[in-house]
């Protein structure tokens, strides 16, 4: 069925407490999507953010982000009082997340909720801890140790901590028990609120598209707890790290810094960690977008310590073997492949064999450095059409910064007019395409420029990941305009 959706991270929702959460505004956004006849809400990863505040660089691929826990929902359960959080300065700009303020204040508030919770825990709490033991125990201990070491990366912990000496870890669990429990209860709060929000969306006909980054952060519970599954040296430091080679967009390439998987080791147990990861993601979301799909066909490995991606080289990925293992346990439906970047015949073969829909980005369609594969007339049904993603400029930002020749071709191709709005004309381009699914950024619905850009890849700064929508900006007028266009382009069930 042809359908459409909106891409906006939960952190971008309005809230008086510094960051978007799974509270009232999230439910209101679902209501907006329903009025606008949208089938999908695409979010970015909802895991905890690490260095650089990026959800693609997380302390755990399985855990939920405590920043997204809503205070008002905890208050209604009797776990917080308004005085616990209302007098705190959560930042001056309602359109910008100040992550330092969150880091310094949010956990203090959540710990008050934990203390009240533990006086009379929910019956479901023990079951949650037991059901998630495979990742929760290591994650909670990892975060407790990190807190006791002033936030230092586990690569800078004492050797017996890094190498997970059994006696040492047993003593740490006892010594840091209070903090370990805090981190477990945070996760219980997160998943309880997430389950309710997702259920509300599903009950109203909205499906959640989530994101599964191909790599995990070096400073994560995932690498610390399973170092043998990554290419690390005898000191447990990465030998190779991930990134992208130099191209027309970046002369130095992209240096991501994530450790590379040891695919040969993973294959020996039929990729059990990856299967578990995908099973977890499919339970969390209705549809999973696999980030950097080309890395499964072949990945770019850069020597650890290099300052650019120039010195990297290509290695063969796990290919269909990995997905065969995943399909056996998780099925093959409800997966999108982010098949952007440098593509070769191995990537095309793998995409065809999996049957996953790939992505079509409209901003790439008229770039002189690329061919016309991203122009709507070349799309296929089994694909997802985007105006742009979180890594791209909002459409109006692109029009301001793109080459004049590229803009001219775009205006001609879509017959764009300022009266309609260039942003609406570009969105019309993906909605009118044959792609089964079409996704637009919330920023494009609002006609915002680069001040609202979510991320500039391979950079770290206060601007990235921080954009938030103004309260009331996504209003009934926009919803009604969207709903009419969905009927026009056959992306919803027609009303009488």
- Catalytic residue positions? 291, 338, 391
Buried b (16+ CB within 10 A) or exposed e, 127-156: ebbeebeebbbbbbbbbbbbeeeeeebbee
Beta strands in 291-411 (DSSP E): 298-303, 313-316, 335-337, 358-361, 383-386
Interatomic CA distance for residues 208 and 204, integer angstroms: 12
Q: Are 386 and 440 in contact (CB under 8 A)?
A: yes
Interatomic CA distance for residues 414 and 426, integer angstroms: 7
Contacts of 228-235 with CB under 8 Å at 24 or more apart are 228/262, 228/265, 229/261, 229/262, 229/265, 229/266, 229/273, 230/259, 230/260, 230/261, 230/262, 231/259, 231/260, 231/261, 231/262, 232/259
Inter-CA distances, 321 with 102, 186, 349, 422, 465, Å: 42, 36, 13, 44, 34
Q: What is the DSSP letter of 229?
A: G
Interatomic CA distance for residues 98 and 303, integer angstroms: 33
Nearest to 277 by CA among 323, 218, 212: 212
Beta strands in 376-463 (DSSP E): 383-386, 437-441
Interatomic CA distance for residues 317 and 262, integer angstroms: 10
Beta strands in 206-357 (DSSP E): 207-212, 240-244, 254-259, 287-290, 298-303, 313-316, 335-337
Interatomic CA distance for residues 376 and 372, integer angstroms: 9
CB atoms within 10 A of CB 345: 8
> Could you tell me if residue 37 is left (phi over 0), alpha (psi between -120 and 50 degrees) or otherwise beta?
left
Q: Which residues contact 371 (CB under 8 A, 6 or more apart)?
A: none
């Amino acid at each position: 069925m042809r359908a459409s959706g909106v891409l906006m991270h939960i952190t971008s929702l309005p809230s008086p407490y510094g960051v978007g959460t799974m509270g009232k505004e999230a439910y209101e956004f679902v209501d907006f999507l329903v009025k606008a006849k949208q089938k999908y809400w695409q979010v970015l990863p909802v895991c905890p953010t690490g260095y650089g505040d990026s959800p693609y660089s997380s302390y755990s691929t399985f855990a939920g982000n405590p920043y997204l826990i809503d205070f008002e929902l905890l208050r209604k359960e009797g776990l917080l009082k308004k005085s616990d959080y209302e007098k705190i300065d959560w930042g001056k700009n309602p359109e910008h997340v100040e992550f330092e303020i969150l880091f310094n204040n949010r956990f203090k508030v959540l710990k008050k909720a934990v203390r009240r919770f533990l006086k009379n825990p929910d019956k479901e709490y023990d079951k949650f801890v037991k059901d998630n033991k495979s990742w929760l125990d290591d994650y909670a201990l990892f975060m407790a140790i990190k807190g006791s070491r002033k936030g230092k990366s586990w690569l800078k912990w004492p050797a017996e901590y890094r190498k997970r000496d059994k006696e040492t870890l047993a003593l740490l669990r006892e010594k840091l028990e209070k903090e370990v429990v805090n981190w477990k209860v945070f996760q219980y709060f997160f998943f309880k609120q997430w389950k309710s929000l997702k259920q509300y969306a599903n009950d109203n006909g909205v499906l959640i598209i989530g994101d599964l980054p191909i790599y995990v952060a070096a400073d994560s519970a995932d690498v610390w707890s399973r170092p043998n599954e990554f290419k690390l040296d005898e000191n447990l430091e990465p030998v190779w790290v991930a990134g992208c080679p130099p191209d027309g967009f970046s002369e130095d390439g992209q240096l991501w810094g994530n450790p590379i998987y040891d695919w040969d080791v993973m294959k020996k147990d039929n990729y059990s960690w990856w299967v578990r990861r995908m099973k977890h993601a499919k339970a969390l979301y209705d549809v999973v977008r696999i980030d950097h799909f080309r890395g499964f066909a072949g990945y770019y490995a850069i020597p650890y310590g290099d300052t650019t991606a120039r010195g990297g080289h290509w290695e063969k990925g796990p290919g269909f073997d990995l997905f065969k293992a995943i399909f056996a346990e998780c099925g093959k439906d409800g997966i999108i492949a982010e098949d952007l970047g440098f593509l070769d015949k191995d990537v095309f073969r793998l995409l065809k064999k999996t049957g996953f829909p790939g992505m079509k980005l409209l901003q790439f369609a008229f770039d002189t450095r690329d061919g016309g594969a991203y122009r709507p007339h070349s799309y296929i049904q089994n694909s997802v059409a985007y105006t742009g993603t979180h890594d791209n400029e909002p459409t109006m930002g692109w029009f301001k910064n793109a080459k004049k020749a590229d803009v001219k071709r775009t205006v001609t191709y879509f017959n764009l007019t300022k009266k309609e709005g260039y942003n609406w004309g570009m969105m019309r381009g993906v909605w009118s395409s044959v792609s089964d699914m079409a996704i637009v950024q919330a920023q494009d619905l609002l006609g915002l420029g680069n001040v609202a850009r979510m991320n500039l890849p391979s950079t770290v700064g206060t601007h990235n990941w921080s954009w938030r929508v103004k309260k009331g900006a996504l209003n009934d007028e926009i919803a009604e305009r969207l709903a009419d266009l969905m009927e026009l382009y056959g992306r919803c069930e027609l009303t009488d």
